[in-house]
Structure 1
Amino acid sequence: MSEKIVLTYFNGRGRMESIGWLLAAAGVHFDEVYLTKREQYEKLLNDGAMMFQQAPLVEIDGMQLVQTKAIMNYIAGKYNLNGKDLKERVSKSSLIEMYSEGLCDCMEMAMMLPFKQVQEKETQLGAIKGKATSRFLPVYEKALSGSQYLVGSQLSRADVHLMEATLMLEEKFPTILSAFPNLKAFQDRMRSLPTINKFLQPGSQRKPQPDAAYVKTVMEVFNF
């Protein structure tokens, strides 16, 4: 019987979402514990579970992992999302990492939107769209020219992050991919993968866009 994987975070989209996407793409079941009260967070701190006093926290293989990048690197390695074999992992790992980090930078801008004041949100939306269409999306559009995946011949964490990021952008800007046909075709291929398709269905552990209740909970737990 496989060991239980537990994700501790808020009941909403945030830094844990990309971790959930990776596990879902790998077809791995995970449980979730939601932070709802300051006292719950303080207990985790007192127990030594959060090294830098930050969430997310992932319990896996007898370890308590923090720091999103470190968590995703471990999961990608464990579930073969860094290349199909050792040779490909060594030769392609830097490229996968660069693609993944670029997508994290892009998504970070959108993740901060719910915490902005109303007047700031409009400015931020414009900045997100501008950077996405001029800096980020062209890179991935070019990488997918004549290629099914971003790197190598097998699904990698970079592909999973790209799917998450493009869907997130379309929520804000429904026609943003109109000038990127390779990315639209990529989305269609990703939707055909059983594990991804399952994660996209209603009732899955994929989180909706953050709402006011989510923002309020985060602020209260972290005592902002």
Structure 2
Amino acid sequence: MAGKPKLYYFNGRGRMETIRWLLAAAGVEFEEQFCETREDLLKLQQIGYLLFQQMPMVEIDGMKMVQTRAILNYIASKHNLYGKDLKEKALIDMYVEATMDLNELIMHHPLQPSEAKEKNLASIIEKATTRYFPVYEKALKDHGQDFLVGNRFSRADVQLLETILMAEECKPDILSKFPLLQAFKARISNIPTIKKFLQPGSQRKPPLDEKTLTKAKSVFNIGHE
């Protein structure tokens, strides 16, 4: 029997967080090995664990998988979170790519210089409320179903919920004009595997604070090259 997936990253959100979310939503227990120092990352590179010298890396089913989207695609396919046919998969991909675009904007906000933070935050809120969230609100209205695609739970629902919660950390009332997304958030948050992941003490990571950000910059050599 295969062991638990093992996640290699620093002890924070970053690109690994969506992978944590998807595994948790699928009910898959996983282990984590944190890179605490730059030397930890260099050691993984030197022993050939990282195909393109980058993390995140997930050890799963005898593979050492890198590239975030490849990892997410594999997990979603393995655990039936990727639609029932090619058309559903294509729609899920479109929704997911958009949530990842917004997720990326939010994820990089703490890295902005202090003088740019206010403008960057305003840009995140503007894009969330005029470009991204209206699409999901309309999709839910048009088909009148509980889930985004095919009336069944998929990675699109998981990744949208993750991004909604991140957006609410930027602006708590960001869903005020989106009643169907408010209901979606409550509904998906109560799916047992996700409800468990949202509880204190889970492997979900908190927003980056200054201490974690400093450590991440050190591990990935950000601002030193």
State the TM-score, normalizing by the size of structure 1: 0.96
Q: CA RMSD in A?
A: 0.9
Q: CA deviation at 1:144?
A: 1.0
The answer as to whether partners of 2:9 and 2:35 remain within 8 angstroms in 1 is: yes
- The letter for the 1-side match of 2:153 is L
5+ residue gaps, structure 2: none
Q: Provide the residue aligned with 2:135 in structure 1.
A: 139
Q: CA deviation at 1:116?
A: 1.2
The answer as to whether partners of 2:10 and 2:219 remain within 8 angstroms in 1 is: no
Q: Provide the residue aligned with 1:89 in structure 2.
A: 85
- The letter for the 1-side match of 2:45 is L
Extract structure 1 runs of 4+ deviating beyond 4 A: none
CA distance in 1, matches of 2:131, 2:196: 31
Q: Provide the residue aligned with 1:181 in structure 2.
A: 179
Instruction: Summarize the alignment of residues 53-132 of structure 1 with structure 2, pairs less than 5 Å apart.
Output: 53-83=53-83, 88-132=84-128
- The letter for the 1-side match of 2:150 is G
Q: CA deviation at 1:151?
A: 0.4
- The letter for the 1-side match of 2:33 is V
Q: CA deviation at 1:64?
A: 0.4
- The letter for the 2-side match of 1:166 is I
Q: 1:175-204 CA distances to partner (integer Å, 9 max, x unpaired)?
A: 110100010000111122100100000001
Q: 1:86-131 CA distances to partner (integer Å, 9 max, x unpaired)?
A: xx23221100000000000001001001111111111100000001
Q: 1:20-78 CA distances to partner (integer Å, 9 max, x unpaired)?
A: 00000001000011111111111110111112221101000000000100000000001
State the TM-score, normalizing by the size of structure 2: 0.95
Percent identical: 54
5+ residue gaps, structure 1: none
Q: Provide the residue aligned with 2:5 in structure 1.
A: 5
The answer as to whether partners of 2:10 and 2:36 remain within 8 angstroms in 1 is: yes
Q: Provide the residue aligned with 2:36 in structure 1.
A: 36
- The letter for the 1-side match of 2:32 is E
Number of residue pairs matched?
A: 220
Are 2:25 and 1:25 aligned? Answer: yes
185, 206, 209: which is aligned to 1:208? 206
Q: Partner of 1:112: helix, strand, or coil? A: helix
CA distance in 2, matches of 1:206, 1:150: 23
